Amino acid sequence: MKKYVLLMLTLACSAETPRADTAQANVTPTGTSAAADSSGSAVPRRSARPSILFAGTSLTAGLGLEPDSAYPQQIQRMIDSAGLRYEVINAGVSGETSASLLGRLDWLLREPFELLVIETGANDGLRGIPVATMKANIQQAIDRVRAARPQARIALVQMEAPPNLGAVYTTGFREAFVDLARTNGVTLLPFLLQDVAGVRALNQGDGIHPNYEGERIVARNVWKGLRPLLR
């Protein structure tokens, strides 16, 4: 717990601000090419395989790692090894909050997907954004996805708030994800940084983002909850 507190304190002092241009540029289809829309931004090219879209923060984008080492790309290799016909699209954006996820949701909804994995909230916690606000943003995102893609399934990644914000906040933060999953009937995936957060040997020099060894653990955390959803 002490290591995790130190990690989150470091995070709180170095929270990223999302860049407007990364909201589109960081969408990376794995194993396929990308076309450009009228604005010149990369748009995933449609594939014969159903898509799994990962929408998240720098933790999903794989900040500090080679592109093919981010956990969504590792999930793609696990999918391929399992003989499953899915294509992973990494739509992680550094510094994203639940509010900025809403801001780019229409763009993400341009392409069809069978499964959406939402990893958000980490930067909300770093900024001390009220839990009710974060929860309302995620609920709105789920509602909009369901309206636009009624057949798509949704998985929500459990995230944790910095312990220095107090027990009331951190408990409410954790329970918000549980409640959202239960209320909306979506799958709650394990805490993304389980067994990685606060472990120096598993993180980059910033003490924030997993290194290559830590990212492999993150990928296994996600795969554990994701695998049963893949038909």
Q: Which residues are catalytic?
A: 58, 206, 209
Who contacts 10 (Cβ-Cβ below 8 Å, separation ≥6)?
206, 207, 208
Q: How far apart are CA 18 and CA 85, in angstroms?
A: 33
Residue that the structure tokens 């589109």 belong to? 24
Helices (H), strands (E): how many in the chain?
A: 9, 8
Give whole-number Cα distances, 33 to 46, 72, 78, 202, 209, in Å. 9, 16, 20, 32, 27
Beta bridge partners of 35: 43
Phi-psi region at 10: left, alpha or beta (left = phi > 0; alpha = psi -120 to 50)? alpha
